[in-house]
Structure 1
Amino acid sequence: MKIAIVGFGNMGQTYANSFMSSGFVGASDILVLNRREVDEKFRFGIDAINFYTEPNAAIFSSDILILAVKPQDFKQLASVIKPFLNDEHVVLSVMAGISIETMQNELGITKIVRSMPNIPTQIGEGMTVFCASNAVDRKELFIVQNLINTTGKSIYIDREEMLNAATAVSGSGPAYVFYFMQAMIESAVKLGFSASEAEFLVSQTFSGSVQLQNRSKLSNEAWIQRVASKGGTTEAALSIFNQLKLQEIVINGVDSANNRAIELGA
């Protein structure tokens, strides 16, 4: 199976590296089309002859085509690569905001898989939500999901519009986590810890808590109750969070992100 990656920025590089590290695809079976020449240190062992700066028939002899360019560059790209495409091509898009219908119209093909990955894909711990056009059969969808899963985990959805919600929750989600972590770090420094001590305390607390939750069947609410003893320190903090309606603030923030995703995709 040959795979062509169009656009070799962070996401394109992540896919290439993940495919090969997993053993799912060999270096000789990955072709790259990028606007500029790619420095050798970013090729991940892919031979230089597999990199192109101009589209040609060799690139599009691939079974799966991954579009990893910026959304604003898509229309120009589509006009250039359309002559090389046929209805057997399966396209996996990681472009935010470009609908399946738009890609079908601009590319002149029907088999489109649209995905929303997040930044932890760079270390193989990503979360990707994806959907597909009706023309993509089960075997093709299975292959694409296996490719996606080399970067972490995934969820398939039937309704394309839910990708906006995925953008708001898992796509933007890492920033929410980092935001809360930074607030805790600043609190720890204020209480007397050094910056490095504070970062270590908070990082390990988040890591340990997530692993604890993943390895159990208890709900988040149940874990909160286990940590928060009556009249204790945790309850004092949670009381302030509840007074300030922190949960409602988070829900409203995610809702705002979802609305913005809808606007950008319109």
Structure 2
Amino acid sequence: MKILIAGGGNMGKTYADAFIANHAISQDDLYILEHYPEKVTFFKSLGFENVFFEVGDYVGEMDVIILAIKPQDTKALFPRLAPLVKPHQIILSIMAGVKMQSIAEAIPTPKIVRAMPNLPAQIGMGMTGFTSTDAVTKEEVFNIQNLLNTTGKTLYFDDENKLDAVTAISGSGPAYVFYFMDAMIATAMEMGFTQVQAEMMVEQTFMGAVHLLNTYNLSCSDWIGKVASRGGTTEAALHQFHAHDLHNLIGDGLRAAWQRAIELGR
């Protein structure tokens, strides 16, 4: 399998590193197309040999072409790619908000996969939702999923519209976690802890809670019940959360993100 990654930004590099580290393909079969000359030099300094500044005939030799560019850069790239892309090649797009139909209208291939990764993909802990056109076979979907799994976990959806909700939940999700952590750290410091102490307590608490959830077959509500004793400290905090309707406020935030994702995709 030969793969071209168009765009050497954070996610482009993430995929390049993950594919090689997980032996998904050999370095000889990985190609990178980068718009900025300094990025070409950078990738070559890391040992990547097939790094290009210009689109060329090599595009037609690829099995998978990954679009890891910004949506606004498609106007410059698509007209150069289109004459070289062949119908059997798979286009894998990780561009936020760009529908598969828009890609199909610009690049003459029926085989298009659209994926929505999130930031933890950079450390192999990502969550990626993806979908594909009907022309992509089950075997090809399986192969693409294996590639995406090198950066974490994946979920396939038949309905492309589900990716708007994926964007709101897991795509934007890390920011919500950081927001809650930041509030806890700031409050801990108000209570007299140093920043280092506050960060250690909050970070380890989050990691420990996630590991508990993954280790035992219990729901979040079950675990809340195990921590919160009647008349205790946790219950006092939960009463405040309930009083301010925090649960529904979080839901409102997610729905706002979902609606914005839909708007951006129009």
Shorter-chain TM-score: what band? over 0.9
Q: Secondary structure at the match of 2:130?
A: strand
Equivalent positions of 1:57-206 (< 5 A) are: 57-206=57-206
Alignment identity in percent? 46
Give the superposed CA RMSD: 1.0
State the TM-score, normalized to the length of structure 1: 0.97
- The residue number in structure 2 matching 1:219 is 219
Q: What is the Cα deviation at residue 76 of structure 1?
A: 2.5
- Partners of 1:60 and 1:185 lie apart in 2 by 52
5+ residue gaps, structure 2, are none
- The residue number in structure 1 matching 2:228 is 228
- Partners of 1:218 and 1:200 lie apart in 2 by 26
5+ residue gaps, structure 1, are none
- Partners of 1:241 and 1:162 lie apart in 2 by 30
C-alpha contact (below 8 Å) 1:98/1:265 kept by paired residues:
yes
C-alpha contact (below 8 Å) 1:4/1:60 kept by paired residues:
no
C-alpha contact (below 8 Å) 1:5/1:12 kept by paired residues:
yes
C-alpha contact (below 8 Å) 1:33/1:59 kept by paired residues:
no
Q: What is the Cα deviation at residue 60 of structure 1?
A: 3.1
Q: Look up the equivalent residue of 2:81 and give its one-letter code.
A: I
Q: Look up the equivalent residue of 1:67 and give its one-letter code.
A: L
C-alpha contact (below 8 Å) 2:43/2:51 kept by paired residues:
no
- The residue number in structure 1 matching 2:207 is 207
Task: Kindly provide the CA deviation profile for residues 209-246 of structure 1, in whole angstroms up to 9, marking residues without a partner as x.
Answer: 00000111100000000000000000000000000000
Q: What is the Cα deviation at residue 74 of structure 1?
A: 1.4
State the TM-score, normalized to the length of structure 2: 0.97
Q: What is the Cα deviation at residue 115 of structure 1?
A: 0.4
- The residue number in structure 2 matching 1:45 is 47
Q: Look up the equivalent residue of 2:241 and give its one-letter code.
A: F
C-alpha contact (below 8 Å) 1:32/1:59 kept by paired residues:
no
Q: What is the Cα deviation at residue 45 of structure 1?
A: 2.5
1:30 has 2:58 as partner: no
Distance of aligned partners of 1:183 and 1:124 in 2 relative to their CA distance in 1, 3 Å threshold? same
- The residue number in structure 2 matching 1:244 is 244
